[in-house]
Amino acid sequence: MAKKNKTVEMIKVCGIEPESIVDGPGFRYVLFVQGCSHHCKGCHNPESWATDAGEDMTVDEIFAEIKSNPNLSGVTLSGGEPFEQVEPLLSLAKMIKAEGLHLMSYSGYTLEELEGRGDAATDELLGLLDMLVDGRYIEEQRNLTLIYRGSENQRVIDMNRTREARKAAVANGSEVELYHSDFDIEIEI
């Protein structure tokens, strides 16, 4: 019988914050991926730009770390640019959602740009997200009172409500773009 080659999916990792309360709602595991082509001026994490740096970790290895902490309520994909490593992150996202955890991702791409790719894996990953913080960081629009985002152009999108609203819109022939999350607000300082 022919031997089947098992593909081990790797993710290029810039860093991990195993327990965070600032990178999304609740108590979260944060995966900072390596590699970002946006090169935003004033980026908080320029060491994450190079694609030939960071550490290679398997999807299984990262998921094992997540699963080993019963206190986690969610996982955040950050960067770097998560949507430049869609295939392995899709595999990880499926495992995370099967565990019932909240899944949030950052992306320097806007939701419209990601949907405009016409790429099945990108669409599937978007379909698993509970929240997306989208758009490049624009230093001139920096605002320290925003929650989970650094500049005013970025949006905290409630992906579940957006999907539901879009379905209803298709059914009744109206148009819905997206729903901003309840976190898409400024805090008082």
- Positions touching ligand SF4 (CB under 6 A) are 36, 38-40, 43, 45, 48, 79-81, 108, 136-137
Residue with smaller CB distance to ligand SF4, 39 or 180? 39
Rg of the chain on CA atoms, in Å: 17
Beta carbon of residue 75, minimum distance to ligand SF4 (angstroms, whole number): 18
Residue with smaller CB distance to ligand SF4, 58 or 153? 153
Residue with smaller CB distance to ligand SF4, 40 or 75? 40
Q: What does the DSSP assignment read for 12-55?
A: EEEEEEEEESSSSSSSEEEEEES--S---TT-S-GGG--TT-SE
- Helix, strand, coil tally for the chain in percent (to 5): 30, 25, 45
Beta carbon of residue 40, minimum distance to ligand SF4 (angstroms, whole number): 3
Beta carbon of residue 2, minimum distance to ligand SF4 (angstroms, whole number): 43
* Listed residue (56, 55, 32) closest to 45, CA to CA: 32
Beta carbon of residue 107, minimum distance to ligand SF4 (angstroms, whole number): 7
Show the beta-strand stretches assigned E in 119-183.
131-134, 155-158
Residue with smaller CB distance to ligand SF4, 13 or 43? 43
Beta carbon of residue 79, minimum distance to ligand SF4 (angstroms, whole number): 5
> In which element (H, E) is residue 57 found?
strand 55-58
Structure tokens at 136: 């490049």
Residue with smaller CB distance to ligand SF4, 14 or 72? 14
